[in-house]
């Protein structure tokens, strides 16, 4: 059995708007990544699109699986303290409707606790080349809240 891995990390806060919508968590390319030797998170994407600014382009949150297989997804999210009563997260196949259509899974909502919110999640699913994956988040605050830190990892077992 072969395992192909993509491990993304962002140490820079991302402002998540108070609009009631889910937002793709964005990740830097190149040196900002912890590991991507199978080229699943590149500025030049498999459908020909090229990301020029990871901070403002939702495509910077996409992992394009390198192979068919059983995928293990993991995410870590650190939220700043905020005036919210709930935060939500989900993994999504094709979150931008680029190939097979939006398909969310592992949606979780969690009540807030005093201070920041620190959440980890894990889910497994079949993955396919040409169908990108992403982590999406939202909150119920009346103002924007920073997602202070995030990680997204995919391990494909073929």
pLDDT digit string, tens, across residues 72-105: 999 999 999 888 899 999 999 999 999 999 999 9
Say if CB 83 and CB 143 are below 8 A apart. yes
Mean pLDDT, the chain, rounded, equals 94
pLDDT per residue as tens digits for the range 111-158: 888 878 899 999 999 999 999 999 999 999 999 999 999 999 999 999
Q: Percent of the chain having pLDDT more than 70?
A: 99
- State the Cα–Cα distance between residues 116 and 107, nearest whole angstrom: 20
Tell me the pTM: 0.95
């Amino acid at each position: 059995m072969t395992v192909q891995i993509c491990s993304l990390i962002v140490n820079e806060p991302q402002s998540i708007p108070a609009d009631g919508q889910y937002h793709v968590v964005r990740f830097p390319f190149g040196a900002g990544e912890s590991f991507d030797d199978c080229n699943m998170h590149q500025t030049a994407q498999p459908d020909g699109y090229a990301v020029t600014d990871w901070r403002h382009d939702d495509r910077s949150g996409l992992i394009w699986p390198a192979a068919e297989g059983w995928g293990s997804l993991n995410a870590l999210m650190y939220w700043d303290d905020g005036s919210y009563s709930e935060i939500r997260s989900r993994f999504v196949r094709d979150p931008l409707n680029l190939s097979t259509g939006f398909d969310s899974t592992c949606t979780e909502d969690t009540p807030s606790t005093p201070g920041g919110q620190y959440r980890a999640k894990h889910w497994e699913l079949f993955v396919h080349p040409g169908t990108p994956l992403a982590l999406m988040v939202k909150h119920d605050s009346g103002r924007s809240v920073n997602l202070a830190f995030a990680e997204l990892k995919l391990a494909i077992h073929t």
